[in-house]
Amino acid sequence: MDAKFRKVLALLLVFALVAVFAVGCGGGEEEEPADNGDGVEAPTTDVKAAMVTDVGGLGDKSFNDMSWEGLLRAEQELGVEIRALESNEIADYEPNIDQLANAGYSAIFTVGFLMTDTTTAKAPEYPDVVFGGIDQFFEEPAENQAGLLFKENEAAYLAGVVAGLATLDSGLDDRINDQNVIGFVGGMDIPPVEKFEVGFIAGARSVNPDVEVISLYAGSFDDQAKGKELALSAIDQGADVVFAAAGLTGLGSITACQERGALFIGVDADQYETVPGSGDVMLTSAIKRVDTAVFETVKAVVEGTFVGSENREFGLAEDGVGLAPYHDFDSAVSQDIKDAVEEARQAVLDGTVTVPALRSEL
């Protein structure tokens, strides 16, 4: 029995050595690195980035959604964990920031001019968190704080050139009348919206000095019914092209144009792409690249190159604003209008034209 036992034991030892050798030579399966769905290894980082929306919330097809698009890009390209908290009222700003900061988010974007004071108060409380204030100018930004501002007036100037010439071109669309009137619908009367209004008026007057621009304000960024009411009022007064810089409120203005027979110019995003079913009236959009500003800030945090204590402004020269394609109206928009827009863009870029930003400068 002892001889048999020794023989079995020897065989077991041989099998064990063979197994160990096989594993050591890589015979086992290796775990495949994660990829982002297209065969490219997904990046990883400990950075977490989030945003607190203004009262318009996600789904505004405008600057809140554009901020979220910037975070989505950071998630895909940089491997950043992202989150958004929506504010239903101004009182939500502070607790939303606290919640994200205490949850370990490395970068927090507060979206909208109305959050300026809250961001200024909160940044010093969380020195390890980077704060990016969309549409916020900080008098003395902290080291972990940056204002992310845009030259909305430059984008609106190009939109105004389109509107100022379109209202004179009856061949562009049957809805163009002979009254030489265009409309502007604003959300709240705050500096970024004023810049949109002023740039739009300046652009329209630069190519059509006699044009009448009807400007109306809703006092809100989340009242679609009011946006529709104001656009209808402008159309009833002769406006055949309406530009709305009003967040969610502006969606009501699109409906007004569709129902009453006018053309529309979108804002922030290319709203032809973000507002389904709007192509029948969407002439173009004045684009504001909030997504780019958000992504580049997150990227700087990930790479350790973020510089605070400053306000950064994005205009035509920085590709931070611009004009969207004409989409369904491309063949209807004359070459003269397209050339005038390009001339205006070049004039702004080379400094020949300085676009006003305040009503007092018109």
Please indicate, yes or no, whether residues 182 and 277 belong to a single structural domain of this protein: yes
Kindly report the CATH number assigned to the domain that includes residue 53: 3.40.50.2300
Please indicate, yes or no, whether residues 85 and 140 belong to a single structural domain of this protein: yes
Residue 33 in domain: no
Q: How far apart are CA 101 and CA 117, in angstroms?
A: 17
Residue 334 CB partners (closer than 8 Å, separation 6+): 165, 169, 171, 172
pLDDT digits (tens, 9 = 90+) for 120-143: 999 999 999 999 999 999 999 999
Residue 37 in domain: no
Model pLDDT, residue 63: 82
Q: Two tokens at 253?
A: 């203005």
Model pLDDT, residue 59: 87
Residue 31 in domain: no
Please indicate, yes or no, whether residues 258 and 335 belong to a single structural domain of this protein: yes
Average pLDDT over residues 293-307: 96
What does residue 344 show for φ and ψ, rounded to 5 degrees?
-65, -40
Alpha helices in the chain (DSSP H): 2-24, 63-78, 93-102, 116-122, 152-166, 191-207, 224-236, 249-260, 271-274, 290-303, 335-349
Cβ distance 314 to 150 under 8 Å?
A: yes
Average pLDDT over residues 147-175: 98
Please indicate, yes or no, whether residues 299 and 271 belong to a single structural domain of this protein: no
Please indicate, yes or no, whether residues 191 and 337 belong to a single structural domain of this protein: yes
Say if residue 40 is exposed, middle or buried (CB neighbours under 10 Å; 0-12, 13-18, 19+).
exposed
Please indicate, yes or no, whether residues 156 and 248 belong to a single structural domain of this protein: yes
Residue 74 in domain: yes
Cα angle at 322 between 131 and 264, to 5 degrees? 110
CA atoms within 13 A on the CB side of 4: 1
pLDDT digits (tens, 9 = 90+) for 185-195: 999 999 999 99
Residue 322 in domain: no
Residue 280 in domain: yes
pLDDT digits (tens, 9 = 90+) for 57-110: 898 888 889 999 999 999 999 999 999 999 999 999 999 999 999 999 999 999
At residue 42 the predicted structure's pLDDT band, cuts being 50, 70 and 90, is: low
Please indicate, yes or no, whether residues 160 and 221 belong to a single structural domain of this protein: yes
Residue 66 in domain: yes
For residue 214, the one-letter residue type is I
Please indicate, yes or no, whether residues 188 and 251 belong to a single structural domain of this protein: yes
Please indicate, yes or no, whether residues 54 and 142 belong to a single structural domain of this protein: yes
Q: Into how many domains does the chain fold?
A: 2
Q: Which domain holds residue 187?
A: 152-287+331-361
pLDDT digits (tens, 9 = 90+) for 206-223: 999 999 999 999 999 999
Residue 228 in domain: yes
Q: How far apart are CA 298 and CA 292, in angstroms?
A: 10
Q: Two tokens at 81?
A: 């964990």
Query: In whole numbers, what is the pLDDT of the chain averaged over residues?
Result: 90
Q: Is pLDDT above 70 for 228?
A: yes
At residue 41 the predicted structure's pLDDT band, cuts being 50, 70 and 90, is: low
- In 3D space, the residue among 94, 360, 89, 119 whose CA is nearest the CA of residue 220 turns out to be 89
Model pLDDT, residue 39: 56
Return the percentage of the chain with pLDDT > 70, whole number: 88
Q: How far apart are CA 167 and CA 144, in angstroms?
A: 47
